[in-house]
Amino acid sequence: MSSPEDRPRSPYDRRTTVIARTVTRLVVPITLMTAVALLLQGHNLPGGGFIGGVLTVAAFVLVYVIFGVEYLVDTVNASGDRLVGAYRALFAFGLAVALVSGLVPMVLGGEFLTQAVFFIHDLPLYSELEVATALAFDLGVYLTVVGALLVIIAEVGYE
Amino acid sequence: MVLSWLSKTPKSDLPLDVLVTPPLVTTLAVVLLPFAGAVLAPFAVRFAGERAGYYAAAVALVCLALVARLASFGEAGRGTVAVEWLPSLDVVLALHVDGLALLIAFLASGVGVLVFTYSAGYMHDEPGLAKYYATLLAFMGSMLGVALAGDLIALFVFWELTSVSSFLLIGHYTDTASSVSAARKSLVITVAGGLFMLVGFLLLGWTAGVSGEQTYVISALVERAPEIREALDGAGLFLPTLALVAVGAATKSAQVPAHIWLPDAMEAPTPVSAFLHSATMVKAGVYLVGRLRPLFLPESLPHVGNWTLLLAALGLLTMSVTAILAVQAVDIKELLAYSTASHLGLIVAGFGFAEAAGAEAGAFHVLNHAAFKAALFLVAGIVAHEAGTRRIENLRGLRHDMPVTAAVATVACLSMAGIPPFSGFYSKEFLFDAAYETAHAVGGAAWMFPAVAVFGSVFTFVYSAKFAMLFWGKKPDALGHVHRPPLAMLAPAVALGGLVLAITAAPQAFVDAIVGPAYSATVPGDAHGFSIPALKLSPPLVMSAVTVGTGAVVYQAYDRLHDGLREVLTAQPRLRANIWYDGAMATLPWLSRWVTPAVQTGLLRSYAASVVGATAVLALLGYAAAGVALPVPTSVGAGLTGAMAVVVVVAVVAAVGVLDAPSHVAGVLTLSVLGSMLAILYVLVDAPDLALTQLVVETLVLVLFLLVLHRLPAFYGDADRGRVVRDGALAVVVGAAVSVTVLVSTAASPNGALARYLSERAGLPTDHGSVLVDWGGGGNAVNVILVDFRGIDTLGEISVVAMAALAVLTLIRMRDRGETP
């Protein structure tokens, strides 16, 4: 890990152009927003946890490629190992969310992974909101995919 | 769910329509309780320390009580009960209660009580008590399982469990090299034998299937014994099946030439030797012989059939060879180990003879041998513990320091030598009787049977006398002061000595209660009554007299015999079976050094080639074997628009371009063009979810490739023609397998019913309340399938993703830590 003293003049230079870096700064937030939108709208429109997850990872990969591994590490002020640890925790948590979302219906007397749809009426703006419990499961899928792929990319990227 | 079979018990005076069956719960409890006890053993050791032996003894005592309860039902409690195990495969866990099972179960739990009590004294200041008691209890459960197994598969599982627990117990002192190698030897020999036996069992089950309903339930097989023998004969499998099963029994019961593991196994703590390697585990082999005797042995005698030729000969050979080896032993436990192999030979020979007296000898000697040999092992443990040596030449006159132990040892030795009227005399008489009757009926070479039986028994007499003499005569000065044994060690030995005396005093009572039912379980057809004959002049008695007389003479020359045998064995090492075992073991590393580099090249591409190639070839062979007709797409042009045609053409061009790419980067980029064209194709055929996934994954894979590629050499050198052909062939095979799979799997369209159901169910019904459960309630049918209809599949898939990440993590981190070999 580079310490402040032996860093190059422009720490995240990595032979990438100003254009690439500027575009990345603009694109990454949009990509992440799109990914979350894909996750949330997946039940009714194209999208879903898996696609949203992979797109999120693609945004991270863009950061990795353009700014380098050190940028992320320095930004979150953690060591690379801790970062991978966080990714690992992410997919473990995702699996747990998916599993628990399957177990809850069993407690309520249903079968494993039974999904239900609730309709909430009389809300301001929305008037009627459709809430699918499948969203919880999809969130688990999303987190697992993001965590697992990031672990793989971070580990391979370090090489 | 409980099933039960109507089991025909010999000598049964019950009306046949009464369902004879032992109580399921009690039978299961006998087998499962020791395992539960094993799980709790580490806690017992933590709380009670060395006194945990009494906890284990209590568990064994409960088992003994349960076995006694099973026995108390008499004829009504005999038969097979079963619990469904894997109903889809017709596998049941069947337990069978009969005389033979009860005899072995009594030994396992009864000797267990004594050995655990003894351990509380013996394992003073020893390491690994938790492991010791847990393994010993698990062993007891496995042995009870072997005894009560009503099904060949269950029998095999428990059988191997006893081998594994024996391995752990022999290797108890994990720091000692001899202990480790002894453990490995016992495991290699007994487990290898067990695998032979398993093949034999499978052949039996298959044969039963040929002649009727396939089954592994032993009582069902025995009931159909004649037709199964006929079917085996018809297929030419009678002798192979018998031999396979006999190999299993012979390795477990230390028959020549697999006897070599037993003396080495004496590395185990002495209570283990007494329990596993004399009274119970080694009895599993002879138990199997007795158990399958009514299956293989025809009811009407040919006096010498395959069964007798194989087993009586093997048993008598073992009995003689190992008795001679016992005479050359230098260590008291080594002497007892060879003697154990010899007596197991006697039991195998007994069951081997077709005569009723043979089965009587076998069944009775199982009990007698367990009693006197376990007593002698406990005595040997006391001697080693208190005198500090196990060398035979250093030990003499111990009766002055340990009179009670001396009395126990003397009684047990008299029984072992077969001196009338001690208990061992009766079982040996039955063996002599069977051998004599067989020879008398057949004549000729069959006279070898009684001759070898007497010859082996002479040596039995000689080493028995030697062991007894450890306690008599003048004590050598070098021995020093010998302590008296603690009560926890002495009491179990005295109990077993008392058992020997009890059998001696009232043999008929024991026959009626325990041995008789065991004997009838080993007899094909109806068993006649089993009674101890009165002492009168008969050929067997003459044979006994010759044995004792010759033995007494030979004993006078014991030292010369002992030294002479050792000299011969040193001069001619090839006579020892060990040399063959060591040679075989030395060959294995040589073989691995030769095979491993050929298989493990260390080149990723060769692993990838074999994995991918094997998968493709197996898939293609699978289609061929299943006779799948290759569907020919008839409507290729239908629905193909101009835009699609353009996309497909670009994809094909990109695919061809990959082959000719000048660099890795160019190749990957071209490949990505192919992937993107596929995504566009998905858009054109109205599959937006697939298109999205394809695009995002394509992007990610491209980046990953580029990350990895800059580490690879830019140029590999010109490929030689051989490799081009080989790689090309592999590519064609894999491509063909994938194409065929796609064609086959998309050909069978369930005429839209499935799609209709899914698209109807995925969306919202027109009328709905505020909560829906049966409907997916989502406009995106693909996603509803993923998260709702096939949610469990998705759960499995994300688990795989997580596992892949863990695998990458472990592989890369392990390389950094240098943990690769």
Per-residue pLDDT of B195-217, as tens digits, reads 999 999 999 988 888 877 878 88
Pair B241, B110 in one domain: yes
Q: Distance between CA A44 and CA B114 in Å, rounded? A: 72
Please tell me the least confidently modeled range out of B367-376, B386-395, B685-694, B753-762: B753-762
Neighbours of B765 (CB within 10 A): 12
- As a whole number, mean pLDDT of residues B312-318 equals 94
Establish whether the linkage from the previous residue to B821 is cis, with ω within 30° of 0: no
Of B697, B770, B791, the CB nearest to A137: B791
What value does the mean pLDDT take over residues B171-196?
Answer: 92
Angstrom distance (rounded) from CA B729 to CA B740: 16
Angle at B413 between CA B408 and CA B419, to 5 degrees: 120
Residue B598: inside a domain, yes or no?
no
Residue whose C-alpha is closest to residue B135's, from B161, B156, B109: B161
- Do residues B527 and B12 touch, judged by C-beta distance below 8 A? no
Tokens at B198, concatenated: 């398993």
Instruction: Assess whether B473 and B366 both reside in one domain.
Output: yes
Per-residue pLDDT tens for B255-302? 988 899 999 999 888 899 889 888 888 999 999 999 999 999 888 766
Question: What was the pLDDT predicted at B7?
Answer: 38
d(CA B389, CA B479): 9
Cα–Cα separations (whole angstroms), residue B729 to B599, B609, B613, B659, B804: 20, 11, 10, 15, 29
Number of A to B CB contacts under 8 A, please give it: 159
- CB distance B202 to B227 below 8 Å: no
The answer to whether residues B689 and B777 belong to one domain is no
| pLDDT value for B433 | 92
**Per the CB < 8 Å rule, is A147 touching B798?**
no
Res B198: pLDDT = 95
pLDDT at A2 over 70: no
Tell me whether residue A11 is in a domain.
no
The boundaries of the domain holding residue A77 are 18-158
Q: Are B676 and B815 within one domain?
A: no
Average pLDDT over residues B805-819: 76
Question: Within this chain, do residues B113 and B188 fall inside the same structural domain, yes or no?
Answer: yes
- Check pLDDT > 80 for residue A84: yes
Task: Identify whether the C-beta of residue A126 lies closer than 8 Å to the C-beta of residue A48.
Answer: no
Mean pLDDT of the B681-700 span: 88
d(CA A2, CA A80): 11
Kindly tell me the burial class for residue B593, based on how many C-beta atoms sit within 10 Å of its own C-beta (0-12, 13-18, 19 or more). Answer: exposed
The model's confidence at residue A53, banded by pLDDT at 50, 70 and 90, is very high
pLDDT tier at A125, thresholds 50, 70, 90:
confident
Q: Which of B201, B294, B186 is nearest to B246 (CA)?
A: B201
Say how far apart CA B491 and CA B118 lie, in whole Å: 8
Do B809 and A115 lie within an 8 Å CB cutoff? Answer: no
| Chain B: residue whose CA lies nearest to A136 | B787
Q: Are residues B313 and B370 in the same domain?
A: yes
Average pLDDT for chain B: 87
Element (H, E) at B3: strand B2-4
pLDDT band for B5, please (50, 70, 90 cuts). very low
Q: For residue B245, is it within any domain? A: yes
- B779 and A44: CB-CB below 8 Å? yes
CA atoms B755, B757, B762, B765: torsion sign:
positive
Residue ranges of alpha helices (H) inside chain A are: 18-41, 49-67, 69-75, 80-107, 134-158
**Percentage of residues in chain B having pLDDT higher than 90:** 47
pLDDT at position B386 over 80? yes
Specify the range with the lowest mean pLDDT, choosing from A94-98, A108-112, B317-321, B403-407.
Answer: A108-112
A77: pLDDT confidence band, cut at 50, 70 and 90?
low
Structural domain count of chain A: 1
Q: Are residues B669 and B709 in the same domain?
A: yes
Assign B817 a pLDDT band (cuts: 50, 70, 90): low
Find the range with the poorest average confidence among A51-55, B81-85, B458-462, B645-649.
Answer: B81-85
Q: Note whether B515 and B653 are same-domain residues.
A: no
Pairwise pLDDT comparison (B326 vs A67), residue with the higher score: B326
Residue B652 inside a domain? The answer is yes
- CA B421 to chain centroid, in Å, comes to 39
The answer to which of A11-15, A94-98, B415-419, B671-675 has the lowest mean pLDDT is: A11-15
Query: What pLDDT, on the 0 to 100 scale, is given for residue B689?
Result: 86
Q: Where are the alpha helices (DSSP H) in B443-557?
A: 448-469, 487-505, 507-510, 516-521, 539-556
Cα Rg, chain B, nearest whole Å = 35
SS (H, E, C) B330-374: CEHHHHHHHHHHHHHHHHHHHHHCCCHHHHHHHHHHHHHHHHHHH
Q: Which of B256, B358, B367 is nearest to B307 (CA)?
A: B358
| Residue B276 DSSP class | I
Closest CA relative to residue B112, chosen from B232, B332, B279: B279
What is the full DSSP assignment across B678-745?
Answer: HHHHHHHTT-HHHHHHHHHHHHHHHHHHHHHHTTS-S---PPPHHHHHHHHHHHHHHHHHHHHHHHHH
B110: three-class secondary structure by DSSP: helix
Minimal Cβ distance to A148: which of B778, B791, B804: B804
Examine the pLDDT at B9 and tell me if it is beyond 60: no
Q: What is the mean pLDDT of residues B358-385?
A: 92
Q: Domain of B795? A: 773-821
Task: Find out whether A87 and B806 touch, Cβ atoms under 8 Å.
Answer: no
Report residue B460 as tokens: 């039995």
pLDDT of residue A6: 46
Using N-to-C axis directions, what is the helix angle for B487-505 and B356-387, rounded to 10°? 150
Q: Quick check: B346 pLDDT over 90? A: yes
pLDDT at B55 over 80: yes
pLDDT in tens, B742-794: 888 877 666 677 778 877 777 777 777 677 777 777 778 888 888 888 888 99
Whether residue B78 is found in the same domain as residue B132: yes
Average pLDDT for B63-67: 94
Domain boundary residue among B713, B733, B757? B713
Q: How far apart are CA B336 and CA B340, in angstroms?
A: 6
**pLDDT for res B387:** 86
- How confident is the model over B531-560, as a mean pLDDT? 89
Nearest to B780 among A43, A88, A102 (CB): A43
Q: Is the pLDDT of residue A85 over 80?
A: yes
Q: How far apart are CA B691 and CA B190, in angstroms?
A: 59
Is it the case that residue B113 has pLDDT exceeding 70? yes
B522 neighbors B359 (Cβ within 8 angstroms):
yes
Q: Which residue from B369, B328, B327 is spatially nearest to B346, judged by alpha carbons?
A: B369
Task: Kindly determine whether residue B784 and residue A134, on different chains, have CB atoms separated by under 8 Å.
Answer: yes
Of the two residues B781 and A53, the one the predictor is more confident about is A53
Tell me the helix, strand and coil percentages in chain B, rounded to 5: 75, 5, 20
CB B311 within 8 A of CB B246: yes
* Owner of token pair 């629905």: B639
Residues B535 and B650 in one domain: no
Inter-chain CB proximity B801 and A134 less than 8 Å: no
The pLDDT of A74-95, averaged and rounded, is 81
Chain B residues touching residue A139 (CB < 8 angstroms): none
Residue B247 lies in a domain: yes
CA-based torsion, B517, B521, B526, B530: positive or negative: negative
Least confident of A34-43, B16-25, B522-531: B16-25
Question: What residue in B sits closest to A132 (Cα-Cα)?
Answer: B777
Contacts A129 to B, Cβ<8 Å: none
Q: What whole-number distance in Å separates Cα of residue B379 and Cα of residue B413? A: 11
Q: Do residues B351 and B290 touch, judged by C-beta distance below 8 A?
A: yes
Q: Is the separation of the CB atoms in B432 and B377 below 8 Å?
A: no
Which of A58, A137, A148 shows the shortest C-beta gap to B802?
A: A148
Helices (H), B572-638: 577-599, 604-626
Nearest to A53 by CA among A67, A69, A38: A38
For B170, half-sphere exposure in the C-beta direction (CA atoms, 13 angstrom radius) is 27
Contact B805 A148 (CB under 8 A): yes
Q: Check CB contact under 8 Å for B786 and A50.
A: yes
pLDDT, residue B335, reads 94
Residue A3 in domain: no
Asked whether the CA dihedral B765, B766, B767, B768 is positive or negative, the reply is positive
For residues B576-602, give the mean pLDDT. Answer: 87
In the predicted model, is pLDDT for residue B22 greater than 90?
A: no
Which chain B residues contact residue A158 at CB under 8 A? 812
Same domain, B126 and B235: yes
Contact A51 B693 (CB under 8 A): yes
Are B627 and B643 in the same domain? no
Summarize pLDDT for B176-186 with one digit per residue, the tens: 899 999 999 99
> Does any domain span residue A7?
no
**Confidence at B16, pLDDT banded by 50, 70, 90:** very low
Q: What's the confidence (pLDDT) of residue A104?
A: 87
φ, ψ for residue B638, nearest 5 deg: -65, 130
Reference B243, options B296, B290, B177; nearest CA is B296
Q: What span, in angstroms and rounded, lies between the C-alpha atoms of A63 and A158?
A: 14
pLDDT digits (tens, 9 = 90+) for B718-735: 667 888 888 889 999 999
